[in-house]
Amino acid sequence: SKMLGMNETGRLSGEEIKRVSVIHQAGEELLRLINDILDLSKIESGRMELHAEEITTDEVLSECRSLFEATAHEKGLQFLLEARWHGVFVTDHAKLSQILRNLLSNAFKFTKQGAVTLRVERDNAFAQPILISVTDSGIGIPEDKQELIFQAFHQVDGTISREFGGTGLGLTISQRFAELLGGSISISSTVGTGSTFTLHLPLQPDTVIASPPATEAVPSAPQPAVPELTTASSQVSDDRNNLISGDTVILLIDDDPAYAGVVVNLNHKLGYKTIIALTGEEGLRLAKIYRPKGILLDLGLPDMDGNQVLHTLKTSPELRKIPVCVVSARDKQSDFSHQGIVGYLQKPVSFEQLADAEAEVIQRAVEYGKIVLVLEGGSLTAGEIGDLLGGKAKVIQAGTLEAAIAVAERGGVAVAILDMEQPGDTLDICRRLHAADLTMPILLHGSKALSEEDAAALSQFTDSIILKKPRAQERMLENIERFLQYQVPSSASTHEIKLPEPSPKNAEKLAGKTILVVDDDPRNLFVITAALEQAGAHVDNVLNGLKAMEYLSRNKPDLIFMDIMMPDMDGYVAIRKIRETPYLKNIPIVALTAKALRSDKEKAMEVGADDFLAKPVDYDVLINAAVVWCGDKA
């Protein structure tokens, strides 16, 4: 993140995109760590379920390299990876990853110079033949303290905590997970020289594995068994085999079979069908398969924390519109309001509370994507938007920012329209409204033109800026209908064009060509520019027709892609002016607009466009059009 912060170009290179991916992955890893700590009591009681899957040794090394490469660089240490065996084995990937993260984190924490080595090998002389070791050149651990460090909240001595931090839980969790996987962790260490922690694993875990009690550091005797590696939903009967078209289906994600049975019976009385998932992973899978009207979500799940399930639901384009109500024994967290949940019930709950919550979830599903939120000011009213839409959507008026945030936090808003004549700082208002629902598109409306600097600052939170000028209503309707139809989240607005993986063939198609892209939406500019540059073109871009004419007074591109609905000077006027200018009149122009009616195409062609593409534009169509018109010019 520090390296990205030093980027002054405003665009990410391939290396920086990789860094963004690592940052995102590291954030998820931190969330998993917190979840594992919260589940420590389940580990000790033998209730933790395993999810076995095949994993390759190369995957193990690659994942760890991505997570700790930056740490090694920052500390000036070598990070060495040794694959002495290449193969496949079966284990719980998430728990294996947690063990290795803990071991590597400790190695880097306690090593000030030298190297950290991650080694994978196989030795059939051992009952647990897979050996994954982490070796450091750090401070080392005295022999009489080596057993102590596997006990919860224990470290070698108090100075370790003061100098290096930590809670003393990492190795405890790692040892418990290792034993759940049918393995163990051994240690070899010399004070002042370094340590080696070795994870011993079988090629495949048994379906029943010993789980240690909390009082023992490194137990040697068999302990109570954990559940078998089976599909959790097989423990409870639901309605998945009795669904017919038109059923109102509720998905319950909760690890308590008895509670799940109660919900199934209640829903039968209410006329709903219920699908049960006892784990987060199964819940996400069933949500994709059945697309329920709503989801009741517990937070204390055995395989992943409910927060992670909620995050996945609300960031998935195919699942984000499903309303979610959290029903959990945990206290409500302050940041839940920003995650688009319908409501929060704290267990124990009554039948009436559940029935009311499900009714709200189902109502929200009906309204989802059909709500237009209007934050009024001096240049715009909700009534005007309602008249413009003619009943196509439910328009909600918000007189204050707080009222708008409350609506946005409930989720399901197709688009929010903000009047820029609101009192206060427009940028701060946009930032707060965006934070209320990160996937909600925001349109700005006002009567005063913005500077390029202000427009650029606002573009990171908004999807379009519409000034109160001729054709403003037409442009407003075009934008609203775009979001009502496609329900495109603002954070994904750059999906206007889906970019395939670059290939040498694509990179040569437009080599040596200069293309001007004219569009008032910075996100569209970014994506179209990226697509054309990927095909080898040199691309310049401007925000409106007036800027385009200024550019063309100094430059003569091979091709122009021209948006139609823009402030200051729209595409129709700009095309006409270009055709009236002798030295510009032969430049090919392709009109771009979200309006795809025959009359729109005819109007664009009448003023002088050579071709017409309707948004959203397919990548191949865009590139092929550019190749054709650049080729004709040549």
In the structure encoding, which two tokens stand for residue 368, read together? Answer: 């989802």
**3-class DSSP assignment, residue 246:** coil
pLDDT at 302 over 70: yes
Question: Region 560-565: what's the mean pLDDT?
Answer: 91
pLDDT at 135 over 90: yes
pLDDT digits (tens, 9 = 90+) for 457-480: 887 788 788 888 777 888 888 778
Kindly report whether the peptide bond that precedes residue 588 is cis, defined as omega within 30 degrees of 0. Answer: no
Helices (H), 222-350: 257-270, 280-290, 306-315
Residue 288: which residues within 8 A CB-CB, separation 6 or more? 318, 319
In this prediction, residue 163 carries a pLDDT of 37
CA dist., res. 466 & res. 473, Å (int): 9
Which has more confidence, 216 or 33?
33
Parallel, antiparallel or unpaired: strands 52-56 and 88-92: antiparallel
pLDDT digits (tens, 9 = 90+) for 136-145: 998 888 887 7
Domains of the chain: residue spans and CATH: 2-201 (3.30.565.10), 232-365 (3.40.50.2300), 371-493 (3.40.50.2300), 497-633 (3.40.50.2300)
Question: Region 97-111: what's the mean pLDDT?
Answer: 88
Would you say the C-alpha torsion 50, 52, 57, 61 has a positive or negative sign? negative
pLDDT band, residue 12 (cuts 50/70/90): low
CA dist., res. 293 & res. 229, Å (int): 30
Q: Which residue has the tokens 């033109």?
A: 449
In the structure encoding, which two tokens stand for residue 60, read together? Answer: 């193990």
Find out whether 397 and 376 touch, Cβ atoms under 8 Å: yes
- pTM exceeding the 0.75 threshold for the entire prediction: no
- Provide the mean pLDDT of the chain: 78
Q: How far is CA 535 from the centre of its chain?
A: 28
CA dist., res. 33 & res. 578, Å (int): 60
Residue 21's CB is within 10 A of a number of other CB atoms, namely 11
pLDDT digits (tens, 9 = 90+) for 274-288: 999 999 999 999 998
Task: Provide the CB-side half-sphere exposure for 522 (13 A, CA).
Answer: 18
pLDDT band, residue 589 (cuts 50/70/90): very high
pLDDT at 393 over 70: yes
Backbone angles phi, psi at 197, to 5 degrees: -105, 125
In this prediction, residue 369 carries a pLDDT of 64
pLDDT at 560 over 90: yes
**3-class DSSP assignment, residue 185:** strand
Nearest to 100 by CA among 15, 24, 174: 174
Would you say the C-alpha torsion 260, 261, 266, 267 has a positive or negative sign? positive
Which has more confidence, 252 or 338?
252
CA dist., res. 333 & res. 307, Å (int): 10
In this prediction, residue 9 carries a pLDDT of 54
In the structure encoding, which two tokens stand for residue 513, read together? Answer: 């060509």
In this prediction, residue 284 carries a pLDDT of 92
pLDDT band, residue 490 (cuts 50/70/90): very low
In this prediction, residue 121 carries a pLDDT of 94
Kindly report whether the peptide bond that precedes residue 348 is cis, defined as omega within 30 degrees of 0. Answer: yes
pLDDT digits (tens, 9 = 90+) for 196-217: 999 999 988 764 333 333 333 3
pLDDT at 30 over 90: no
pLDDT at 514 over 90: yes
In this prediction, residue 169 carries a pLDDT of 61
End-to-end Cα, the chain, rounded Å: 45
Which has more confidence, 157 or 588?
588
109-123, 141-155, 583-597: lowest mean pLDDT where? 141-155
Which has more confidence, 432 or 205?
432
Helices (H), 510-544: 522-534
Share of the chain above pLDDT 70, in %: 76
**Single-letter amino acid code for the residue at 264:** V
Nearest to 483 by CA among 372, 584, 572, 629: 372
Helices (H), 56-92: 57-75
pLDDT at 620 over 50: yes
Find out whether 283 and 277 touch, Cβ atoms under 8 Å: yes
pLDDT band, residue 110 (cuts 50/70/90): confident
Which has more confidence, 184 or 505?
184
